[in-house]
Amino acid sequence: MRTMEWAYNKLPKTEDGRLRLMSETQVRKAKAFHESFPQYKATPLVGLGEMAKLLGVGGIYVKDESYRFGLNAFKVLGASYAMARYIAKETGRDVADLPFRVLTGERMREKFGQATFFTATDGNHGRGVAWAANQLKQKAVVFMPKGSTQTRLENILKENATATIEDANYDECVRMAADAAAATPRGVVVQDTAWEGYEEIPAWIMQGYGTMALEASKQLFDREVRCPTHIFIQAGVGSLAGAVQGFFANIHPKHPPKVVVVEADMAACLYKSCKVGDGSMYHVVGDMQTIMAGLACGRPNTISWDILRNHVDTFLCAPDWVAAKGMRMLAAPRKGDAPITSGESGAVGFGAFAVIMTMDAYRPLREHLGLGADSQVLFFSTEGDTDPERYKAIVWDALDF
């Protein structure tokens, strides 16, 4: 059985110029936009009090994104806000003046018309792009990497998007989406990763993800938890991790939570970059076979990497069995705690935490993080059972890895 590996962050720091992208002001603007959707409702923050007692911490809180806009995942937050920001820029408006009803009105249709938004995804981001484009009366084209499931493809097609599963990995599909957009009149890439020359839209996507972090912060405050002591956040390219880390570093600059970034071990580009330790980004290549399809990304987001290297405490990579453990524990917690339906990519952060707290091999990491009776630990379950058959195979039938 493969074990988890980790690297403490000793990377050289930068001027930290990217952190301002996730300021509270920027995130509140994104949240106000999301609140204008008729489907908007803050997703629940589930407290697992009995599980906290079992694992030896003061509190466990899980942000359950399976309720987000009826799409079973959080990704729509970034896609919808990026589209709104793009339309605002093209029409010379401030996004604050473009709530849902204005964006979908006849005047905006006459002024802006239609664009085609291209993306690459295993499913959740693509479904978010497709849904947002459909809601905002735009077009969407989605390239999905090999290994993507038919269920996820069909969910995207239901949103009136064009979508195909390609014989290529995620990073290759990103290049395909960019090439197709360049060859299409009014083609726009909406990708939740950034590279040199493509950083504006990924920054908007990260700000859109901030809505989830801002909701969680308020929900914790309502429970008299001013600030979590620890956050376990999963990463593929690192956009979500950078958004969460950036937001909490901004609102708690003097006493920020300790953040642990958790990746799939087959696609651990951030962990690899931290372990090398020279400050550069390092890539992972190949098929990156993992049940955590949403994390199977080999190239870090340049914007996010700058935030993460300056603020994250520990980078950790986890094999598939850790994600499966997290899924099962959340689905069947201790009596008195509410169950949470969390998919493979959504549950790996909690799974890693549970392993750290219960297995002697990870005692050094547990002690380094200072996890104990006073710890208030926050997790983001970023997807529900987006692939129901695989979810049942893992949780019900104890599919092994």
Active site residues: 75, 122
Q: What is the pLDDT of residue 341?
A: 98
Q: What is the pLDDT of residue 302?
A: 95
Token pair of 398 as six digits: 């104890």
Q: What is the pLDDT of residue 287?
A: 86
Q: What is the pLDDT of residue 136?
A: 94
10-residue mean pLDDT profile of the chain (401 residues): values are 95 97 98 97 98 98 97 96 97 97 94 96 90 96 92 93 94 94 96 92 98 98 97 97 98 97 97 97 92 92 97 98 98 98 98 98 98 98 95 91 71
Q: What is the pLDDT of residue 62?
A: 98
Q: What is the pLDDT of residue 400?
A: 75
Token pair of 84 as six digits: 């709104």
Q: What is the pLDDT of residue 384?
A: 97
Name the pTM for this structure. Answer: 0.96
The three-state DSSP-derived secondary structure of the chain is CCCCEEEECCCCCCCCHHHHHHCHHHHHHHHHHHHCCCCCCCCCEEECHHHHHHHCCCEEEEEEHHHHHHCCECCHHHHHHHHHHHHHHHCCCCHHHCCHHHHCCHHHHHHHCCCEEEEECCCHHHHHHHHHHHHCCCEEEEEECCCCCHHHHHHHHCCCCEEEECCCCHHHHHHHHHHHHHCCCCEEECCCCCECCECHHHHHHHHHHHHHHHHHHHHHHHCCCCCCCEEEEECCCCHHHHHHHHHHHHHCCCCCCEEEEEEEHHHCHHHHHHHHCCCCCCCCCCCCCCCCHHHCCCCCCHHHHHHHHHHCCEEEEECHHHHHHHHHHHHCCCCCCCCCCCCHHHHHHHHHHHHHHHCHHHHHHHHHHCCCCCCEEEEEECECCCCHHHHHHHHCCCCCC
The answer to whether the beta carbons of residues 380 and 212 sit under 8 Å apart is: yes
Q: Which residue has the tokens 């050289």?
A: 12
Q: Which residue has the tokens 């710890």?
A: 375
Which domains are delineated in the chain? Answer: 5-73+201-395 (3.40.50.1100), 76-191 (3.40.50.1100)
Token pair of 125 as six digits: 């981001």
